[in-house]
Amino acid sequence: MNHLVSPSLLAADFGNLRSDVTMVNESEADWIHLDIMDGVFVPNISFGFPVMEYVKKDAKKPMDVHLMITEPDRYLSRFRDAGAEILTVQFEACTHLYRTVTEIRKLGMKAGVALNPHTPVSLLVNTLGYVDMILIMTVNPGFGGQLFIEGSYGKIRELRKMIDDAGYDVMIQVDGGVDTENAGKLIEAGVNVLVAGNAVFGSADPKKTIRQLKHLS
Distance of alpha carbon 129 from alpha carbon 204, whole angstroms? 41
Asked if 58 is an active-site residue, the reply is: no
pLDDT tier for residue 140 given thresholds of 50, 70 and 90: confident
C-alpha closest to that of 79 among 138, 29, 71, 13 = 71
Q: What pLDDT is attached to residue 128?
A: 97
C-alpha closest to that of 141 among 195, 191, 82 = 195
Q: Which of 30, 35, 38, 132 is catalytic?
A: 35
pLDDT tens sequence across 68-123: 999 999 999 999 999 999 999 999 999 999 999 999 999 999 999 999 999 999 99
Q: Which of 38, 132, 175, 179 is catalytic?
A: 175
Half-sphere exposure of 162 (CA within 13 A, CB side): 20
**Sign of the Cα pseudo-torsion (69, 106, 191, 164, in order):** positive
Asked if 175 is an active-site residue, the reply is: yes
pLDDT tens sequence across 183-209: 999 999 999 999 999 999 999 999 999
Q: Is the pLDDT of residue 1 over 90?
A: no
pLDDT tier for residue 142 given thresholds of 50, 70 and 90: low
Question: For the domain 4-214, what is the CATH code?
Answer: 3.20.20.70
